[in-house]
Amino acid sequence: MRLHEYQAKQVFADAGVPTPASQLATTVDEAVDAAEDIGYPVAIKAQVHVGGRGKAGGIKLVENKEEAEEAADAILGMDLKGYHVSKVLVEEAVDFVNELYVGVTMDRGEGEPVAMVSTKGGVNIEEVAEEDPDAIAREHIDPAFGMHPFQARKVVYEAGVDRDVANDVASVLTTLYQLWDDRDGSDVEVNPLMITSDDEVIAADAVMNIDDDALFRQPEIAEMGEEAEEGDELEQKADEYGFDYVRLDGNVGIIGNGAGLVMTTLDLVDYYGGEPANFLDVGGGAKADRIANALDMVFSDDNVDSVVFNIFGGITRGDEVANGINQALEQFDEIPKPVTVRLAGTNAEEGMEILNEDLVTVEHTLEDAVQRAVEYAKEVEA
């Protein structure tokens, strides 16, 4: 479960992490009143679960009432990468001289949580990890003992953080780990953690994702989750259908059965030069109507330009999947997005024969299916 920035910042602030003064607004008048109350300059920030808000026009820095009114009017109600913006966070602007990244997540390869610090804050940390992995310092933590103070200092030192603010950054990191542990977090991060000319450390952004399976013992967070998902029609629809679904920023829709299979497909889309639009696991034993619901969901995402199906038959039979795909696509006078299908396992050959190749492209290997879906998406982009 993902919290909005304003919710995560409230949790961080309650735990002692410095955050800018801010107010939530749902109308232009509320946004202007908040800006006047906080004092200019302020940032007006769309509250949606999507990265790259600034580049997409979802964050604007304003210097006066007229600019605040104009920015709030432009952001509220906008469609931001497929998300409807119904709330903005009006926040005190931070005059910074440096930006850092600090975060805690689970390293599944090591079987331990890992704390991370980088002096390359304010940019996509995944890109930093890919292009310059040495720019991110890491420290694994034994969950039986928690984060020791020396570990926080060590990872901050190894990242090259300036000595004048190192202790404060280590304190923020320690608090983030404590929140990750106490709140059953999956990811907790600040990007950027801003450093001012007065050597103040301020969390200018906040990310907090919670393990869904632990929400029963996090009632306060669970209540936030109901508000956080409000207005996200696709994720609400996924809950209704009983799908495991995560919306991403790309344009290649992905449907599979089993989390591992879907993750493999996501990785291959990235490997072949595409960008995944979602994680959608239809689960085992999916019948035709369930497959049709999955297609309906992916087609409803305006960001999706092509769709790839990756189904391995075990409990889920290939012929059932093929029937579901045919039934879903036959509802359309014109197929809204090109669909590529790869079936393997139980009744896969029967499924291949059932598939209407006037409606879908059939590939016999996963690699071929992913490459074809990426090609289709790039053709739409062109």
By annotation, the residues acting in catalysis are 101, 189
Question: Is 346 among the annotated ligand-binding positions?
Answer: no
Q: Which residues touch 270 (CB under 8 Å, ≥6 apart)?
A: 276
Q: Is 313 annotated as a binding residue?
A: no
Q: Is 53 annotated as ligand-binding?
A: yes
Is there a binding annotation on residue 255? no
Strands 136-140 and 361-362, by their bridges, are unpaired
What's 54's DSSP letter? T
Is 205 annotated as belonging to a binding site? yes
Q: Which residues contact 358 (CB under 8 A, 6 or more apart)?
A: none
Q: Does 314 carry a binding-site annotation?
A: yes
H/E stretch holding 75 reads: helix 65-75
36 is in an annotated binding site: no
Q: Do 321 and 351 meet the contact criterion of CB atoms below 8 Å apart?
A: yes
Dihedral in degrees, nearest 10, Cα atoms 147, 148, 153, 156: -10
- Ligand-binding annotation for 274, yes or no, is no
**How far is 252 from 270, CA to CA, in rounded Å?**
10
**Nearest in space to 35 (alpha carbons), one of 5, 4, 60:** 60
Residue 196 annotated in ligand binding: no
Strand pairing class (306-313; 252-256): parallel
For 288, counting Cβ atoms within 10 Å of its Cβ (0-12 exposed, 13-18 middle, 19+ buried), the class is middle
- Residue 91 annotated in ligand binding: yes
* Residue 88 assigned as binding residue: no
The response to whether 111 counts as a known ligand-binding position is: no
Asked if residue 292 lies in contact with residue 240, where contact means CB atoms within 8 angstroms, the answer is no
Question: Binding site annotation covers 54?
Answer: yes
Interatomic CA distance for residues 207 and 202, integer angstroms: 14
Asked if 342 and 368 touch (Cβ cutoff 8 Å), the reply is yes
Structure tokens at 380: 């739409």
DSSP 8-state class, residue 296: H
Amino acid occupying residue 157: Y
- Whether residue 300 contacts residue 237, with contact meaning beta carbons closer than 8 Å, is answered with yes
Q: How far is CA 86 from CA 43, 45, 231, 266, in A?
A: 16, 11, 8, 30
Instruction: Cite the annotated binding site by residue number.
Output: 45, 52-54, 91, 94, 99, 191, 205, 257, 314-316
Instruction: Cite the annotated binding site for Mg(2+) by residue number.
Output: 191, 205
Instruction: Cite the annotated binding site for substrate by residue number.
Output: 257, 314-316
Instruction: Cite the annotated binding site for ATP by residue number.
Output: 45, 52-54, 91, 94, 99
